[in-house]
Chains A and B, each alone.
Chain A
Amino acid sequence: MNQLNVAVIIKLEPDFSEGNVSYNPDGTLNRADTKNTLGPHSAIAANAAFYAKVKYDAKVSVATMGPPIAETALQMAQKLSDAEELHLYSDRIFAGADTLATAETLKTGIQKMQGKMDIVFSGHRASDGETGQTGPQTAWKLGYPFFGNVLNYEVNVQNKTIRIKRLVSLQGFNDVIEEVEAPLPVFLSVDPSYKSLFNTVSQRISYEKYQKQAKIRSENYKQYLMVFNLQQLGVDPTLVGLPGSPTIVFRVERIPKGKANRQAEVLDSSNPEHIRKAIAKINEALSAMVIK
């Protein structure tokens, strides 16, 4: 049988929604008082993995590096992807890692998963000050070809190839869709606008079935969870955590407020004269735009 194995790397992030987030008087994030959740981009990556589950009956594994409470993120990701294997890489020594050191940990973990991974997914980036580098660096360490901004994909399980649609910018055009074919394995970083398309009744029935299974599994997620410390993971201590991080954060600066060069005018929506004025402005703006 041609079993497809896919892995997702995810991250626990602060929940920035109103009602959950707290800020210190100096405007920085109050981490202690802010709830944590599965990062929104990680969730999209988990969705992308679920597509492989539904369509190709793939086996899904999820991994993250973080403190013990990061297991809640794994649980949430399992609920989205119906994963059968959850990896948490947790050790004091991993703390303070930059993206490169994180990638080393994740790579080692992925290689320890049951079965060789055909596709590894990551989110576009994290929402708490990350740079979108963990994905590509993990890909590089794994030696997998990397594809960013993936919109959707189809796998040919027999031939072990994948067709990918991805968003690229080409000669100044921002929204060009590129379609590529590659042999597996690959590493895909999923675009925020990624959407799984299930367009037959049978696919939708499997979707519902696996979603339910995922819900049940995630209620018993501990059964699927494996926690690794430095030693258990068998990773080189000089390549992870602070020692493995070449990045030095010198200072974090607040982004200075830009000076507004626009002028606002308050219009009253119940006044037809004002509405006409607004429309005239829009027309003016439209006619000034040159469609390239």
Chain B
Amino acid sequence: MKKSPFHFLTYVLVIGAYAALQVLQARGGLSSSLRGMLVPICAYVVMAVSLNLTVGVLGELSLGHAGFMSVGAFLGTSTAIALQDAVPVPAVRLTIALIVAALFAAIAGFLIGIPVLRLNGDYLAIVTLAFGEIIKAIFNNLYLGVDGKGVHISLLEDTTRTAETGRLIIQGPMGIGGIQKISTFTAGFILIMISLIVIFNLVNSRAGRAIMAIRDNHIAAQSVGVNIIKYKMMAFVTSAALAGSAGALFAMNYSTVVANKFDFNTSILILVFVVLGGLGNMLGSIIAAAVLTILPEALRPIAEYRMLLYAVLLIVMMLTANHPFVRAFFNRFRQTGRLRLEADGDEEREAV
């Protein structure tokens, strides 16, 4: 399978957008509200491209992507707080936190994947939906403290008995407070680039071909000797890990983080980015995530109707995308691309 020229274009546009925004920011050309949104946009972009790996490339529906974001947000941020004195350089601390966040989210993805990815059908959608809710319930009731004696954990009530010298980091429904805002736009940009490199390399590899073969026809994939569970797991765990680091990046842009921020609505919002941007189309996901994160800010007067607007947009997209006229229109593009190549060949032959 050939490398898509789309991949290259995606890198170029992301780097270009980053550079342009940096220049604008330096010249004071960004409003303060937009400046505040740069990191969340990066986090949502990573969420969208990582979910697109599961939904678009692997072809499995996940309705709990915010659950992985939550795991990453809480455990990554806790790590950063615990290391506050040991690792004074913020960039290094952030890097460690993002890696820890990715690891824990990957483990969560792996644990979910073991039972579910063996099955064919819509089980993953159901289980991830439940996973998102369970994670929310857990972090709403979790108390985690760190002191000289180590890590203390309790559920429902704070019985951690964290020493005065230590710190109670996760405080049940109050979440984590007093976070140092160490996430930066540059860190977000780097995380987007790493996500793209990981995803595009996976898609272009032998493993990527196996993953897409499973999406296309899992019986055929099985019959050519593809280890279905392994490659499904590879895509799903990668997707979860990236979402985990996006969660940590997101959380450390604010002074507090609570579990309710990563709920079903957030999962659906990210799914909307993916569907609007196009299944398997990473550039589309990036644009959809960025535009739909900025848009509500721009449309603040009608913010209450945001979810309604998305629902309507989705329905309109589905209807038009399946409309014979629209299909014929896009097919014509595709075919003319191919036909033109062949026609060129013919002309050359005639010229000779």
The reply to whether chain A is a binding partner of chain B is no
Q: Which residues of A contact B (CB under 8 A)?
A: none
* B interface residues with partner A (beta carbon < 8 Å): none
